[in-house]
Amino acid sequence: MSIREWEGLKVPTAGEFALDKAHTRVGFVVKHMMVSKVRGHFADFEGKIAIAENPLESSVDVVIKTGTIETGAADRDGHLRSDDFLGADKFPEITFRSKRVTDLSGNEFTLVGDLTVRDVTKEVELKVEFNGAANNPWGQEIFGYSAETEIDREDFGLTWNQALEAGGVLVGKKVKIEIEGEAVRQA
C-alpha cells in the first residue's frame, strides 16, 4: 500500500483513483409535503479522483446518469426523470468538476467545484470528510470519504411544484446531497 503521512493524516500517494460503484452511494434528501423527507440515489455514475503530490491540489470529476434516479416509487422516479424535473432524455448527465480544496481541518475540508444540472452550472461547496486509506482483501488500494452539500433546486431550473391545500408546497426547494463511498487506485 502506498500511504504517506501528510498534515497528521495517512493519505494515499499521488495517483489516479476511481469511485468504486459497489461501495459508493450518490444520494439526496428533499422535503415532501412540508412534513417528511424523501431519500433517493442515482444507480449509475462514474468518477475520477486525482490525488496530487500536494493533496490540496487534488481534483475530482464525476458524471451521474440522470435516468438512473431511484426513490423506491416507480411513478415518482418517472416524474423525476421527466421534463418537470431532470429532463433525463434531454439532459442525461449531472456533472461535478472540482476547482479547489479549502478549509482543511484535520480530516475535513471543503471541495469547491462546478455542479451542472440541466445545462445550468453553479459553484457549490461540498463538506468532505476523509475516512482513511487501506488495502482491501484483494490487495487494491482504497480510501473512504463522506461528502455533503445543500442546493436550491430552483437555481438549476428544477422549478416544478404544486401548492398544498393546507399551505406550503409538495416538494421542498432545498436538496441535500449526500455521498458516501470508496475510491480505488487505478493501475
pLDDT tens, position by position, 26-47: 999 988 777 779 999 999 999 9
> Residue 83 pLDDT > 70, yes or no?
yes
Is residue 72 predicted with pLDDT exceeding 70?
Answer: yes
Per DSSP bridges, beta strands 45-51 and 59-65 are antiparallel
CATH number of the domain where residue 56 is located: 2.40.128.110
Q: Which three cell numbers stand for residue 3?
A: 500511504
Number of domains in the chain: 1
Segments forming the whole domain that contains residue 126:
3-185
Report how far apart the first and last C-alpha atoms of the chain are (Å, whole number).
Answer: 13
pLDDT exceeds cutoff 80 at 55: yes
pLDDT digits (tens, 9 = 90+) for 150-161: 999 999 998 877
Strands 93-105 and 45-51: unpaired
Alpha-carbon span 113 to 115, nearest angstrom: 6
Residue 182, sorted as left (phi over 0), alpha (psi -120 to 50) or beta, turns out to be beta
